[in-house]
Amino acid sequence: MDESSEREGRVVTRVPVDTFDHRLMLARSHAGRLSIQEAATKCGFTHQSWSNWERGRVPRDILDVAEAVAEGLGVDRDWLLHGGPLTRPEKPRRLRVAYTANRGPGRILRRPRRVDEPRVRVPA
C-alpha cells in the first residue's frame, strides 16, 4: 500500500492476476497439490526451470512448455497460454416429466428458462 491510501484509511485489496506463473501454480494444485519438484519431473523439466517460471520468468519456448505441462498434468494447453475462466462450467438443467396414469409421459413440470425471461411462480 502506498502512503496516501494509508493516511486516508482506505483498504486496498489485491485481485489475483491471470498470468502464466499463476496458471502454473493452479495446474500443480489441480494435478493433486504437487510440489514444484514433482510437477517438473512429471512434465520433463528441471526444478530450477519450473521455479523460475512460477516466479514470473517466461520460458523462451512457451508453446512447447505449455504442451508438455498440459500433457503431464492434465490441464488445457490453451488455458495455460491465454487464461480464462477459473470456475467450472454450469451443468445443464434436467427436465422432470410427470407420468400419467397409463404410464406415458405427461406434461413437463419445469421447462428451461431463457436468460431474459423473468422468474414467475406458477400455482400448482
The proportion of the chain whose per-residue pLDDT surpasses 90, expressed as a percent, equals: 39
Distance from the Cα of residue 30 to its chain's centroid: 10
CA distances from 121 to 61, 108, 111, 118 (A): 56, 15, 12, 10
pLDDT in tens, 34-46: 999 999 999 999 9
Residue 112, pLDDT above cutoff 70: no
pLDDT in tens, 66-101: 999 999 999 889 899 988 765 555 566 665 555 555
Query: What band does 12 get if pLDDT is binned at 50, 70 and 90?
Result: low
Q: Give me the domains of the chain, ranges plus CATH numbers.
A: 20-82 (1.10.260.40)
Q: Is the pLDDT higher at 21 or at 119?
A: 21
Q: Where are the alpha helices (DSSP H) in 31-103?
A: 36-43, 47-54, 62-73, 77-82
Q: What is the dihedral of CA 32, 37, 39, 43, to 10 degrees?
A: -160
Q: What is residue 40's predicted lDDT score, i.e. its pLDDT?
A: 96
3-class secondary-structure state, position 95: coil
**All residues at 6 or more sequence positions from 71 whose CB lies less than 8 Å from its CB, including other chains:** 43
Q: What is residue 1's predicted lDDT score, i.e. its pLDDT?
A: 46
Q: What is residue 18's predicted lDDT score, i.e. its pLDDT?
A: 82
Residue 55, pLDDT above cutoff 90: yes
